Amino acid sequence: MKVLIVGGVAGGASAAARMRRVNEDAEIILFEKGEHISFANCGLPYYIGEVIKEKDKLLVQTPEKMKERFRIDVRINSEVTKIDTVNKRVEVLNHAENKVYTENYDKLILSPGAEPIRPGLPGIDSKRIFTLRNIPDTFRIKDYVDRMNPKRAVVVGAGFIGLEVAENLHLRGVKVTVVELADHVIGPLDYDMAALVHQHLKTKHVEFYLKDAVEAFEDEDAWVNVKLSSGRNLKADMVIMGIGVKPESKIAKEAGIAIGKTGGILVNEYMQTSNEDIYAVGDAVEIRDFVSGKEALIPLAGPANKQGRIAANNIAGLNEKFGGTQGTSIVKVFDITVAVTGNNERILKRNGIEYEKSYTHSASHAGYYPGAIPMSIKLLFGKKDGRILGAQIVGYEGVDKRMDVISTAMRANMTVYDLETLELSYAPPYSSAKDPVNIAGFTAS
């Protein structure tokens, strides 16, 4: 069997490694249009802030190691430009040699990811405006900070990536202003929980403008003017655009593969597209929201990796289903940690799902043991059955483990009544005899 994989990072590299594990004889070719495979996308902002100091640490796997360990033919600088579904072959542009060739397949896995949105605003082509997706983008931004020593940056978009970049530029001594169209930072949060983040950003002297949008950029000799719809004009030495991503579904669409209404490649539970020999995974696909069962785009590394593995398993005949995405995610915002899973109030209302909510503010561990610090938990749950529909946590210590307990409970279709009964590890430095998750359950039920 000959399996071709398009995209060599989260979903693609996982699919390739798993494919080898489930089929020792398959011929596997991995095409990556960039120079690197299997790099640590999620670590990129921290390289800019010099929290991660060595370049090599960003590379989880190299083409050579992937070849040696898994017998996978890894071809970097190789862009798949066309899929011929009739003759089952792809057209590949080798950027290094500027050559085009074709390669046939028995099965094809697409994991081309999603690209940062760069709106067609006046002045967007300024050399001082950056997006962050891959290693070359990261080096470009870091090199600019190293060489130009910028004093002021504007980050457009207060999502996970925008805030991570804001924090890392701040660490480099840059004064950061964040501009966000919505009325709060971090879209998956509700306003009430985001207010805690707003407060924290203020203590760090990060300026932010909410309910405001960039209308144009104007390059001056010494800076770029960022013109906002409110009439404000911000002067910046550099601008980072972090307003979201859109699925790279172009080659699939051109090949006649069905695209969902969100713009992502349509797949079934087996990660199979409308063409039975072609699978698609990761940020490029439209997934089912675990809570509502509705179509959604939720670009996260965990689901991409799992879907890559599932696609390979299914090509090997193992019949594995992907159970939808909860959107469980976490971000460090300076000294605090923010984590979410499931739907927020806005999405629940949009989907007409009836819910109740509870708020608890518990100590991260026993109050009498030094260092206990409060964390705020918002739970959203079914009005009639107590099913967990979503959770948002903002705090300092132990946010990650509470979120992981709740998201696991949610995946297991547990209710808020079950949260009361969970037996969770306890000693004073770590928790309380009634863990914050138990308390959230008591309050909700």
Binding site for ligand FAD (CB under 6 A): 6-7, 9-12, 31-34, 41-42, 44-45, 79-80, 111-113, 132-134, 161, 248, 251, 282-284, 299-302, 304, 329
Tell me the two tokens of residue 433.
């005899």
Task: For the CB of residue 233, give the shortest distance to ligand FAD in the complex, in Å.
Answer: 28
Task: For the CB of residue 205, give the shortest distance to ligand FAD in the complex, in Å.
Answer: 23
CA 33 vs CA 81, 112, 278, 305, 373: distances in Å: 10, 9, 19, 19, 46
In angstroms, the CA 320 to CA 70 distance is 22
CB 348 within 8 A of CB 389: yes
Closest by CA position to 156, among listed 189, 107, 123: 123
Tell me the two tokens of residue 52.
């991660």
Give me the catalytic one of 1, 42, 96, 427: 42
187 vs 374 by CB, closer to ligand FAD: 187
3-state class (DSSP) for residue 244: coil
Task: For the CB of residue 107, give the shortest distance to ligand FAD in the complex, in Å.
Answer: 16
CB 324 within 8 A of CB 304: no
77 vs 225 by CB, closer to ligand FAD: 77
Tell me the two tokens of residue 65.
């190691």
In angstroms, the CA 71 to CA 65 distance is 9
10 vs 405 by CB, closer to ligand FAD: 10
3-state class (DSSP) for residue 193: helix
Residue 27, amino acid: E
CB 198 within 8 A of CB 184: yes
Task: For the CB of residue 429, give the shortest distance to ligand FAD in the complex, in Å.
Answer: 27
Closest by CA position to 131, among listed 147, 115, 113: 115
10 vs 189 by CB, closer to ligand FAD: 10
Tell me the two tokens of residue 217.
């950029």
In angstroms, the CA 394 to CA 390 distance is 14
Task: For the CB of residue 440, give the shortest distance to ligand FAD in the complex, in Å.
Answer: 24
Place of tokens 């009964």: 421
Please work out, in degrees rounded to the nearest 5, the angle formed at the alpha carbon of residue 367 by the alpha carbons of 365 and 372.
55
116 vs 123 by CB, closer to ligand FAD: 116
337 vs 360 by CB, closer to ligand FAD: 337
Residue-by-residue DSSP string for 277-340: TEEE-GGGEEEEBTTT--EE----HHHHHHHHHHHHHHHTT-------B---EEEEETTEEEEE
Task: For the CB of residue 357, give the shortest distance to ligand FAD in the complex, in Å.
Answer: 25
The answer to whether residue 42 is catalytic is yes
Place of tokens 């949008």: 213
41 vs 438 by CB, closer to ligand FAD: 41
150: region left, alpha or beta (phi > 0 left; psi from -120 to 50 alpha): beta
41 vs 326 by CB, closer to ligand FAD: 41
Q: Sort 127 into a burial class: Cβ within 10 Å, 0-12 / 13-18 / 19+.
A: exposed
Nearest-CB residue for ligand FAD? 282
In angstroms, the CA 266 to CA 274 distance is 7
- The set of catalytic residues is 42
